[in-house]
Amino acid sequence: MLDVTDSQKPQSSAFQDSAQFVQKVRERIAHVVVGQDVVVERMLIALFTGGHLLLQGVPGLAKTLLVSALSRAIALDFARVQFTIDLLPSDILGSEILDARAGEFRTVKGPIFTNLLLADEINRAAPKVQSALLEAMQERKVTIGKETHRLPTPFLVIATQNPVEQAGTFELPEAQLDRFMLCHRLEYPTPDQEFEVLRRNLALGVQREDRGATARTEFDAIGGSAVGTVEDLVRCMEAVSTVHTSEAVLRHVVEVVNLTRRHPAIELGASPRAGIALVKSSRARALVRGRGYVVPEDLFALAQDVLLHRIRLSYEALADGRTAAGVLNEILTDLGAPAAAA
């Protein structure tokens, strides 16, 4: 086990304020979305570290609702793009348009100029569109024509992907997958949670509009004022940078990443960016959990979300029926992880 006794220090008031802010955000989202606590935690981790998040799950698991609720809870500028086969890079980034009256080109910025961009079903867009996101995701800037524009801060991409339906989709290349700090796989709610979903849905009722009415949805229930501002978010980002990470933690991360490169069943191991992502996300998880230091549980809980989309099994391993998740679990178990890290 890692030694964290040297990090058991009194927490500053700024750190405590950040922990309270996190709790308020989680409570606000819980008013709209039932369960999915782990997904909310992953979204907060991505926000506090400036990383990007890929959510994989079948339709109907409230992925879009979660992102919308998060943006409203922190008063972030929010934009959603539904990725389709006929989408063009200019539909996301923007373009130069000739102003006939002025006789010159002017730049019309696309929806990517926002704080929180939801890329719905990202794998349905052509590779040219997916590659247009690389510069924005990595360097936080966009080139339109001959000009380069900085994106707003903070800037975060949360993409969704249906792992079941593959017709009319394009597999994300490794270069783009590596830009996502976390890739979280959503699960179905428990029976009790699903019962609560149905109970809340029954109580939504209808909403009058002009002389007609429409059935209210969960999106109509998001309402209410934000529980925080961008400044609160910035303070949380600063608090994450103060979370203690011992050298033992860093060595543990290096060992995990290197084992993915040496394992005989893995053809493509994790890159150094994976190690950086594991450390940064572990610090953010510690803050979300109200701690000022990283513990082994943080590493093990986030290992799948950080590493699984960054490794590729060999042909022989696939032919033997092995899975990337199973191989990674073997590695983590050998390092002392619990049987099921959440």
What pLDDT is attached to residue 1? 44
Coil, strand or helix at 333: helix
Chain CA centroid to CA 41, Å:
9
Instruction: Measure the CA angle with vertex 111, ends 174 and 48; round to 5°.
Output: 60
Chain CA centroid to CA 207, Å:
32
Asked if 54 and 159 count as a contact pair (C-beta separation under 8 A), the reply is yes
What pLDDT is attached to residue 167? 62
Q: Considering only CA atoms, which of 40, 42, 56 is closest in space to residue 121?
A: 56
Asked if 228 and 21 count as a contact pair (C-beta separation under 8 A), the reply is yes
Q: Which residues pair with 184 in a beta bridge?
A: 55
Asked if 54 and 183 count as a contact pair (C-beta separation under 8 A), the reply is yes
What pLDDT is attached to residue 136? 83
How far is it, in rounded angstroms, from Cα 50 to Cα 56?
A: 20
Q: Considering only CA atoms, which of 309, 263, 248, 229 is closest in space to residue 55?
A: 309
How far is it, in rounded angstroms, from Cα 268 to Cα 166?
A: 23
Q: Considering only CA atoms, which of 271, 277, 279 is closest in space to residue 248?
A: 279
What pLDDT is attached to residue 220? 72
What pLDDT is attached to residue 2? 45
Q: What DSSP element (H or E) covers 141?
A: strand 141-144
pLDDT by 10s per residue, the chain, length 342? 444 444 444 456 667 778 788 888 888 888 888 888 899 999 999 999 988 999 988 888 888 888 888 888 888 888 998 888 888 888 888 888 877 777 777 888 889 999 999 988 888 888 888 777 877 888 888 888 788 888 888 899 999 888 766 666 777 777 778 889 999 998 888 899 889 888 888 887 777 777 777 777 777 777 777 888 888 888 888 889 889 999 999 999 999 999 999 888 998 888 899 999 999 999 999 999 888 899 989 999 999 999 999 989 989 988 988 888 899 998 888 877 665 444
How far is it, in rounded angstroms, from Cα 263 to Cα 277?
A: 21
Q: Which residue has the tokens 């428990």?
A: 190
How far is it, in rounded angstroms, from Cα 309 to Cα 240?
A: 24
Instruction: Provide the token pair at 320.
Output: 């033997």
Q: What is the DSSP string of 77-129?
A: -EEEEE--TT--HHHHHEEEEEETTTTEEEEEE-TTSSSEEEEETGGGS-HHH
